[in-house]
A and B are shown apart, each in its own frame.
Chain A
Amino acid sequence: EAGVAQSPRYKIIEKRQSVAFWCNPISGHATLYWYQQILGQGPKLLIQFQNNGVVDDSQLPKDRFSAERLKGVDSTLKIQPAKLEDSAVYLCASSRSGGPYEQYFGPGTRLTVT
């Protein structure tokens, strides 16, 4: 079974630029999560989708972050404009619906904002 795929793996941008991350969850997993993990901290949930609907985006900085999951499969997370404090690893995870079930994480995208 293929795992959660993410791209790109690394991204370096300057502050005020835009960036987008892509995630493809495990086939059949209805629930998709985006986390931000700053060095030395645990993952912080940014947004949770159930199919293509948003379940929880209470910790998403909506003035600069946006996410979508069209057709309930792939998802993109965008930051516009980026700030220095957005430097982190962005992790995508998926799980079966009706949980809480085990979350399977992708390898993450390491973002550096200079």
Chain B
Amino acid sequence: RKEVEQDPGPFNVPEGATVAFNCTYSNSASQSFFWYRQDCRKEPKLLMSVYSSGNEDGRFTAQLNRASQYISLLIRDSKLSDSATYLCVVNNNNDMRFGAGTRLTVKP
């Protein structure tokens, strides 16, 4: 089993749609979690951290389920500019492990 697993997609959604991605992790001792965004042929950039209580940043909501060992990212009211690959990152003692990413394409 991979340490961090994501559905690679692609997810093709119309503008304005709501889309959700899940990410599962194998190490129950993992301490912190992040979502990064990577545009085509660009470097990854932090989208948001994932807190135990869940957190929201505008149209983006991240949640953590420690019991089931997964994190999720919800994007509401999708914009064309949301098209990118979304990378799940799991940290255990400063050992950051990236998922392979989920590709999202938002279409007009």
B96 touches A103 (CB 8 A): yes
The 15 sampled A-B contact pairs (Cβ below 8 Å) are A35-B98, A40-B8, A42-B99, A42-B101, A43-B98, A48-B95, A56-B95, A91-B43, A99-B94, A100-B31, A100-B94, A103-B44, A105-B43, A105-B45, A107-B42
A-contacting residues, B37-55, CB 8 Å:
42-46
Please judge, given known A-B contacts A103-B46, A105-B45, A108-B43, whether A45 and B94 are in contact too, CB under 8 Å.
no
CB of A16 within 8 Å of the partner chain: no
How many angstroms between the C-alpha atoms of A40 and B9 in the bound complex? 11
Using CB atoms and an 8 Å cutoff, list the residues of chain A in contact with chain B. Answer: 31, 33, 35, 40-45, 48, 55-56, 91, 99-100, 102-103, 105-108
How many angstroms between the C-alpha atoms of A18 and B94 in the bound complex? 30
B43 touches A100 (CB 8 A): no
CB of B91 within 8 Å of the partner chain: yes
Q: For the complex formed, measure the closest distance between the CB of B103 and the CB atoms of chain A, giving whole angstroms.
A: 9
CB of B100 within 8 Å of the partner chain: yes
